Amino acid sequence: MVQPPCKRIRLENRKEEAEEETPNGSHQLTDAEKDGNATDENLRPAPVCTVCLGILQELCEMDFVKAVCQKINSAEYQFSSFVFSVSFPPQLSVREHAAWLLVKEEIGKQDLLVEKDDLVQLKEAYKWIIHPLFLEELGVPADGKSLFEVSVVFAHHETDEDCHFLATACRSCFKPAKNKQSVFTRMAVVKALELIDDDDFLKNFRSPPSSPKTPCTAVEIQCTNGAIFVAGRYNKYSRTLPQTPWIIDGERKMESSVEELISEHLMTTFKADSFNFSSSGREDVDVRTLGNGRPFAIELVNPRRVHLTAEEMKALQQTINNSSDKVQVHDLQIVTREAIGHMKEGEEGKTKSYSALIWTEKEIRNEDVAVLDSMKELKLDQKTPLRVLHRRPLAVRVRVIHTMQSEYIDEHHFRLRLKTQAGTYIKEFVHGDFGRTKPNIGSLLGTTADILELDVESVDTDWPPALDN
């Protein structure tokens, strides 16, 4: 497009025409001239700032804020405040440094002293401008402690061109890294600027900086909510259900797991991206968890919903319980990240109660097994069981059987209820694991013994707090 001639040319072409002057001698523009001048100004793009690369121009105006807020609202996040983070192109630090050197020189000419820390950084200035606009558009305040984060990544295609001289001057600061598109990261550039002296800098980079060819652009707008944590207790009533997905050599062995039966409903309700499951110990696939259940916690990553009422939590708990007869949960509640630590605190000092159905090779009488009832605080030396040696280091662990209570069934069977130190391998205590657990039921009774069924009857911890549900 050919731009129309500017006002100066038009006026020169009309010098010989009769001109109507105002009382002070200035030329009175016609309506056509006014319109033509406005057209010229609109067509001529505003120059891009040599320091901020346009970030404090169009990228902090309400139109940009509206575009960001549209993305926030479309994601349907639940939040009452927000923290705004920005990632600027690394060369902004270079251009800020160049501007600072110019300011320092000019101030010095006036025999004044100014420190670099006295200047407002571009990022801070940007947030000062942008925060009130977000408040106006979103209706919630900016809060540095908010769990809801809005992050914007700005980029500029001249980054390498502006920064390349630093790679020569400060080679040690720039090392190729995996998964990085450029060696010129913000941290590397800042470190290099701290090392390079002013004269070397000014030999390689103009002060004030040269005009950029194009402004910055926002290449990514992302919203994330801080994780929330849901805790409770679960009972497992199946002997064919693992606690977590059971996959061996890429092949799934069971169709579901405790973790999945609980978490799938939490994921749906809280609209989270992913989850992390943890519990106070774990039971084998063929072991039931009865009694007061096993404490568990699930971290929900980037949830869209973060608040549920007590009634909504009860309804969620009921949904989980109605979905399967293999697992039931109770005391379901939202907890803090710090509270999760209570579940793991003093793990080995906790006690757990079990019920084991035991078979003996030798015929037994009631008085044979009754001898176990009198044994208190029985110490075991347990070498890492063969069945878990592939995932746990080889070690000998001392564990304690606090109490035992036997129930005679017939010549080859009896039930044993045990209260033990957490972390005790009960199956190995029964059959001995080829002598790797000493003593064991077989050695105590003078016969070969094996375990037929095992149930966890209680995990003795007061976390999470019991609820009235």
Q: Annotate 167-211 with DSSP letters as a single string.
A: HHH-GGG----TT-S-S--HHHHHHHHHHS-HHHHHHHS-SSPPP
Other residues' Cβ atoms within 10 Å of the Cβ of residue 289: 25
Write down the H helix ranges in 139-289.
159-169, 186-195, 198-204, 258-270
Query: Does residue 1 have a pLDDT over 50?
Result: no
Percent of the chain residues topping a pLDDT of 90? 71
- What pairs with residue 231 in β-bridges? 297, 333
pLDDT grade for 343, boundaries at 50, 70 and 90: confident
The amino acid present at 77, given as its one-letter code, is Y
pLDDT tens-place string over residues 222-244: 999 999 999 999 999 999 999 99
Percent of the chain exceeding pLDDT 70 equals: 88
| pLDDT tops 50 at residue 306 | yes
> Is the pLDDT at 160 greater than 70, yes or no?
yes
Residue labelled with tokens 């070969």? 448
Within 8 A by CB and 6+ apart from 76, the residues are: 271, 304
Classify residue 168 by burial, with Cβ atoms within 10 Å: 0-12, 13-18, 19+: exposed
Specify the amino acid at residue 46.
A
Question: Is the model's pLDDT at 135 over the cut of 90?
Answer: yes
Q: Per-residue pLDDT tens for 255-299?
A: 899 999 999 999 999 999 999 999 998 999 999 999 999 999 999
What pTM, to 2 d.p., does this model score?
0.79
pLDDT at position 335 over 80: yes
Q: How confident is the model at residue 177 (pLDDT cuts 50, 70, 90)?
A: low
- Mean residue pLDDT of the chain comes to 88
**Quick one: CA torsion of 457, 461, 465, 469, rounded to 10 degrees?**
0
Tell me how far apart the alpha carbons of residues 191 and 196 are, in angstroms, rounded to a whole number: 9
Q: Name the pLDDT band for 44 (thresholds 50, 70, 90).
A: low
The whole-number pLDDT of residue 115 equals: 83
pLDDT category at 217 given cuts 50, 70, 90 is very high
**Residues designated as active site:** 284
Q: Which of 48, 50, 45 is nearest to 59 (CA)?
A: 48
